[in-house]
Amino acid sequence: VSTQSTWGKCNGNRASLKDLCLVFEGPPINPDSVEVVIFPPSVYLDHTRAHLRKDWHVGLQNCWIGKGGAFTGEVAAEMIADTAADWVILGHSERRHLPELHETDATVATKCAYALTQNLRVILCVGETLDERNAGSTNAVCIRQLSAVALVVKDWTSVVIAYEPVWAIGTGQVATPEQAQEVHAELRKWFAQNVSPEVAEAIRIVYGGSVNGSNCAELAKKNDIDGFLVGGASLKPEFLQIVAAHSQKA
């Protein structure tokens, strides 16, 4: 199953999101071959679910590190599970790298483990900065981030990995299909060697980083690219092209 995911980051309002939902109307998707999840800003979750086509899912862009309580402004996983959402994005590069947030590998791992206990499905983001890529540390960085999660997560059934090179997010730059495939293959190899061959074969690894209607077909042809985590292009009609790109796989 190919996973195509999208989100509005900290953008949009009720009117614009309703219009976007109308743009995304189309023929039903085959749930056996593609799964689409929309991640609106949390305050618009119910509004999005009310207007979004029923064969697409909704999720949130983040959650608190554990059980809810006196944590003003946070959203706990059990609260998300009590809504129409069944997915959450964790470890996004902006949450890892923005100085106001700076989530550590351990924080992301703890969030992931707790969200899974609340029966949420997790898109776990990993990826390197431009300096790390130039230093030849791409695989080491991604594996470090994964290893932190593997310390506390043993069942990967409800986890999708999103490889998102930080240097390609919102910059217009995109990893070549060969660059993306190389990293995806290394991640799958890591799962085979450190978790199990069965998990390595089954887990979905999606690519995120300036994916658009022009480059999605070539990216989708690569063996280890199982879908996309889409940013800016998800706010345009071309997102439907990206959803359909899974058909390019041989």
| Cα gap 112→183, rounded to integer Å | 22
Confirm whether 164 is a catalytic residue: yes
Confirm whether 25 is a catalytic residue: no
Residues 6+ apart with CB under 8 A from 231: 6, 7, 9, 169, 170, 208, 210, 211
CA nearest neighbour of 240 among 79, 83, 34: 34
Tell me which long-range contacts 237-244 makes (C-beta under 8 A, separation of at least 24).
Answer: 237/23, 238/212, 238/213, 239/6, 239/24, 239/213, 240/24, 240/26, 241/213, 241/216, 242/4, 242/211, 242/212, 242/213, 242/216, 243/4, 243/29, 243/34, 243/36
- The residue annotated as part of the active site, out of 78, 103, 128, 164, is 164
| Cα gap 177→215, rounded to integer Å | 9
- The residue annotated as part of the active site, out of 35, 57, 92, 128, is 92
| Active site residue ranges | 92, 164
